[in-house]
A and B are shown apart, each in its own frame.
Chain A
Amino acid sequence: MYNFFTVTILRFVPIYFVISCLVAAYFYPGGNLLDPQQVGYSFNHNFLSDLGGYTSRSGEINFLSQFFFNLSMFLFVAVGIGFLFVPMLFKDNKINFYSAIIGSFFFFIGTVFFAGVGLTPHDLYRSEHIFFAINAFRILMPAGLIYVFVFFRSSVPNFYAYLTLAFFIFTTSYVLYQLFGGSPFDSIDALKQHVTIQKFIAFASTINIFVLSFGFKTRIKYLSIA
C-alpha cells in the first residue's frame, strides 16, 4: 500500500501530466492572451492554463485539449493523497514524523488547489481559477521547506534534500515574481517571459514530485514495508 501511494502514484501522475500537456498542446486550436489569430499552441506564447480553457483564446471549441489538461491537473489530488502516507515512512523518528505530517498537510492542500485549477477553466471561472493557481504555489512553499528539514534529518540520501531545497527556492522565486513581476498584458515580451517562467516552475515541480518517489522508495526499503 505504501509503495502504491508514495511511489507508484508519485511517478504515474507527473508522467501523465507531461504526456497530457503534449496531447493538449497538439489539439489546442489557437490564440493567446494578446493575439487571438495565432494558430495552434505556442510554448512561449501560451500559458498552461490556456490548454484548460472551455474555449480557446481564438474563440473555438477546445474540448480535447481542455479534457486532457484538466484531467491531468485533477489527478494531482492523488499525489496529495499519496503525500498523506509519506509521514509513516519517517515514523522511526518523532520529530521527522510530526514534521512530515505538517509538510504533507501543506502538500495535500497545495495539490487540491492544483485540482481546483483543473476544475475552474480561466474563461468560465476566472477569479476562482486565479485564486487556485496563485495559492497552490504559495501553499507548496512551506511544504517544500518542511520536507527539506525532514530529508536532512533522515537516512534519505541528501540528494533529495538538495532537490527539494531547489524546488523551494524556485517556488518562492516564482511567488515573488507573481507579486512583483508586472503584467503579461503589458507587451508580447512580458507575456513570453511570464509564460516561460510558468512552464519552468510547473515542470520543475513535476520533476521534483517524480524524483521524490525514488527517495521514498529508499525509505520503504529501509523500513522493510510495502
Chain B
Amino acid sequence: MYKFWCVFIPRFFLLYFIVAIAIGYYFYPGGNHLDSSQVGYDFTRNFLSELGFYKTLSNETNFISSFFFNTAMFFNILVGIGFLFMPHLFNESKYAYIFAWVGAILMFFSCLFFALVGLSPGDIFFKAHIFFVQVAFNLVFLAYLFICLAFYFSQISKKYMIGSIILFIISIIYAFHIGDQPVIDAIEQKELFQSTFTMKDLMLNAINQKLVIISMNISLLMFTYGFDNFIKRRGL
C-alpha cells in the first residue's frame, strides 16, 4: 500500500508527464505569445501551459496536445493522495512526523491546484488558470520545504534533499525575476502584451519555467527513492 502510493504513483506520474509533454510537443500546431506564425512547439518560446490551450495562439485546433498535457496535470490528484500516506513513514521521529504531515497536507492541496490548472486552459479560463498556477507553485515550494525538514529530522540519508535544494535555488531566482512582471492576458490584451514584453523576455520566462518544472520533477523522483528506502528499511 505505502509502496504503491508513495513510490509507484509518483513515478508513474513522472513517466506519464514526460510522455504527455513529448506527445503534446509533437502535435502542437504552432504559435507563441508574440508570434502567431511560429510552426510547431518551441521549448524556448512556448510555456508548458500552451500545450493545454483549447486553441493555440496560431488560432488552430489543439485537441491531441491539450488532451495529453491536461490529463497529465489532472493526474496530479493521484500524487496528492499518495503524499497523504507519506507521514506514516516518518513516525520514528516526532519532529520528522509533524513536518511530514504539514508537508503532506500542503502537497495535497498543491496537487489539487495543479490538477485544476489542467481543467482551466489559459486561453478560455485565463484568470482561473493564473490563480491556480500561482497557488499551486506557492504551496508546492512550502510543501517541499517541510518534506525536506522531515527528511532532515529523520534517521535516513540527507541525499534525498538534493533535488529540493536545487529547486529552491532556481525558484528563488525565478521568483525575483518574475516578481515585478505584470500579468497580462495574451489573447484578450494582445496589443498590451506585445508592447510590454519582448521576445527576449518571453524566452527567458519560458526557459526559467521549464527549469523550475524539471527541478520539481527531479525533486519528486528523489523523494520517491527516499520513501522507498524507508519502506524497505521498515518492512512496510
Contact = CB atoms under 8 A, between A and B. Distances in A.
B119 A64 contact: yes
Contacts of B64: 119
Nearest first, the 9 closest Cβ-Cβ pairs linking A and B are A71-B71, A63-B54, A54-B63, A124-B63, A67-B70, A63-B124, A61-B124, A70-B67, A121-B63
A63 B63 CA distance: 10
B37 interface: no
Interface string B37-72: 000000000000000001000000101100100110
Given A54-B63, A71-B67, 13 more contacts: A61-B54, A61-B124, A63-B124, A64-B119, A67-B70, A67-B71, A67-B119, A71-B71, A74-B67, A119-B64, A121-B63, A124-B61, A124-B63
A54 B71 contact: no
Interface residues of A, number: 12
A27 B109 CA distance: 24
Nearest to A124: B63
Contacts of B63: 54, 121, 124
A63 B121 contact: yes
Interface string A56-76: 000001011001001100100
B74 A71 contact: yes
A63 B54 CA distance: 7
8 contacts: A61-B124, A63-B54, A67-B67, A67-B119, A74-B67, A119-B64, A121-B63, A124-B61
B71 A74 contact: yes
A125 to B, nearest CB: 8
A16 B217 CA distance: 27
Contacts of B121: 63
Contacts of B119: 64, 67
Interface in A114-154: 119, 121, 124
Contacts of A121: 63
B187 to A, nearest CB: 13
A140 to B, nearest CB: 24
A64 B107 CA distance: 25
Interface string A94-120: 000000000000000000000000010
Contacts of A71: 67, 71, 74
Nearest to A120: B63
A148 to B, nearest CB: 33
A13 to B, nearest CB: 14
A226 to B, nearest CB: 12
Contacts of A64: 119
A70 B4 CA distance: 26
A54 B124 contact: no
A61 B54 CA distance: 9
Nearest to B75: A71
B20 to A, nearest CB: 11
Contacts of B4: 4
Nearest to B8: A4
A39 B141 CA distance: 43
A61 B118 CA distance: 16
Contacts of B70: 67
A61 B53 CA distance: 12
A71 B124 CA distance: 19
Contacts of A70: 67
A74 B67 CA distance: 10
Between A63, A64, A74, the greatest number of chain B beta carbons within 10 A of the residue's beta carbon is seen for: A63
Nearest to A121: B63
Given A63-B121, A67-B119, A54 B61 contact: yes
Interface in B116-162: 118-119, 121, 124
A155 B70 CA distance: 43
